[in-house]
């Protein structure tokens, strides 16, 4: 098989890149090791920046997100038993975020790709990347007991942290930065109405909590737990009791509980691999960087990467110029590190750290008090939360 761009990974980043390239008339094939049903069922993020919404529109897959998504113009910070609203829309000249589950984004992209008759290879095993240091890269994979090969101009590695793309790069060519946090998030998804119409980020002496949602009838809640904690130790009742203990009186009163649809513990880490280009191989999304979920940047960084990459490939094929491709890694990493900084700062501000004790809790509360009463500090938080703009090639 021959294509212009071979995309490794059929999650939202790979699918969005494929759709953007298709709209630009650039042939592409998506190679995914899991089944389509598995990819579509993964429970992930749900807060989309304006940049992501704009890229979905460019790809022609934003209709349902705009109809069913929940626009949010603010967030609430809870500390010392009281909530304080950050007016993101007012502080950023009308910018906002949209709550729309990653599973729904994936479904929209999969349906659009299928309707366009584009090639997606599911259940591809033993995927391997070859000659990406040349002008004739190739991707091999096995399916139904047979080995297949795809010749291409470029390979886009959108296959996540554990994927084959970054693992194919010689270790000597990578510079890896990593921070692992001493806690995780115990998350519950339930078909209950949200406790508030906007997200609540809670800093408490018992630890962090987040009240989020996927729709007006489906909620996503999290509590901070130690890294060694096991999900099997948490009944639904135990989770709801712990969440309730970390909320303010009004939220406790409004909290509706119910059986969990999904329950899991997510570890928190910050990770960046530099650079993001190796000859004809370009890394995007979690293949190149991970952020703690506190700032809601993971999916949004991935969409920004593929937005840059799709535009650079448009310039390459349209203008016969490799200048934008040559800048891809540097442009992406400038935005990545700003998001890493914000996610690290927000995580450090909202969570209880084992070594910080009562002094650390008081420092956090003092900073939060300054944050909600300072226009400049509130504006900085709002600007970063709604998402920094994309650079123009």
pTM of the model: 0.95
- pLDDT > 70 in the chain, percent: 100
The pLDDT of residue 51 is: 94
Q: Rounded mean pLDDT of 281-285?
A: 98
Of 153, 148, 149, 121, nearest to 137 by C-alpha is 153
**What pLDDT, on the 0 to 100 scale, is given for residue 99?**
96
- Strand, helix or coil at 256? coil
Q: Quote the CA–CA distance of 181 and 268 in Å, as a whole number.
A: 6
Query: Can you tell me whether residue 121 is helix, strand or coil?
Result: strand
Is the pLDDT score of 45 beyond 90?
no
Give the model's pLDDT for residue 393: 72
- Each residue's pLDDT tens digit, 310-348: 999 999 999 999 999 999 999 999 999 999 999 999 999
Query: What's the mean pLDDT when you consider all of the chain?
Result: 96
Q: Is the pLDDT of residue 144 over 80?
A: yes
Give yes or no for residue 195 having a pLDDT over 80: yes
- pLDDT tens digits for 291-301? 999 999 999 99
Given a cut of 90, is residue 42 above it in pLDDT? no
Q: How large is the average pLDDT for residues 279-298?
A: 96
Q: Over the stretch 19-41, which tens digit does the pLDDT of each residue have?
A: 999 999 999 999 999 998 888 88
b/e map of 6-43 (b: 16 or more CB within 10 Å)?
bbbbbbbbbbbbbbbbbbbebebbbbbbbeeeebbeeb
Instruction: Write down all domains in the chain, each with its CATH number in brackets.
Output: 5-72+96-177+269-352 (3.50.50.60)
So what's the pLDDT on residue 40? 83
Which residues are annotated as catalytic? 72, 201, 293, 297, 385
Residues 6+ apart with CB under 8 A from 40: 103, 106, 107, 110
Give the β-pairing of 289-290 and 260-274: antiparallel
């Amino acid at each position: 098989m021959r294509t212009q761009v071979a995309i490794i990974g059929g999650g939202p980043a790979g699918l969005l890149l494929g759709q953007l390239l298709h709209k630009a008339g650039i042939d592409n094939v998506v190679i995914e090791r899991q089944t389509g049903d598995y990819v579509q069922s993964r429970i992930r993020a749900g807060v989309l920046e304006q940049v992501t919404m704009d890229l979905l529109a460019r790809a022609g897959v934003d209709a349902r997100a705009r109809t069913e998504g929940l626009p949010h113009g603010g967030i609430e910070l809870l500390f010392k038993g009281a909530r304080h609203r950050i007016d993101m829309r007012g502080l950023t000249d009308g910018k906002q975020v949209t709550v729309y589950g990653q599973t729904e984004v994936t479904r929209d992209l999969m349906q659009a790709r299928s309707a366009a008759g584009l090639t997606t290879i599911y259940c591809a095993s033993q995927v391997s990347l070859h000659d990406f240091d040349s002008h004739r890269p190739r991707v091999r994979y096995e399916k139904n007991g047979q080995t297949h090969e795809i010749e291409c101009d470029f390979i886009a590695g959108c296959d996540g942290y554990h994927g084959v793309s970054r693992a194919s790069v010689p270790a000597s060519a990578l510079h890896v930065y990593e921070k692992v946090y001493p806690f995780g998030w115990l998350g519950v998804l339930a078909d209950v109405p949200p406790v508030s119409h906007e997200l609540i980020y809670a800093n408490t002496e018992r630890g962090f909590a987040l009240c989020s949602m996927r729709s007006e009838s489906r909620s996503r809640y999290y509590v901070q737990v130690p890294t060694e904690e096991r999900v099997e130790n948490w009944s639904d009742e135990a989770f709801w009791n712990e969440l309730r203990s970390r909320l303010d009186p009004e939220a406790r009163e409004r909290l509706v509980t119910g059986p969990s649809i999904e329950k899991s513990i997510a570890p928190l880490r910050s990770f960046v691999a530099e650079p993001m280009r190796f000859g004809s191989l370009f890394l995007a999304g979690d293949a190149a960087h991970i952020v703690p979920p506190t700032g809601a940047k993971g999916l949004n960084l991935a969409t920004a990467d593929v937005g840059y990459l799709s535009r650079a490939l448009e310039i390459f094929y349209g203008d016969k110029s490799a200048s934008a491709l040559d800048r891809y890694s540097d442009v992406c990493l400038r935005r990545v590190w700003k998001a890493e900084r914000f996610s690290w700062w927000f995580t450090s501000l909202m969570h209880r750290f084992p070594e910080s004790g009562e002094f650390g809790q008081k420092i956090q509360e003092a900073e939060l008090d300054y944050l909600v009463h300072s226009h400049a500090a509130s504006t900085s938080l709002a600007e970063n939360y709604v998402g920094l703009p994309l650079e123009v090639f």
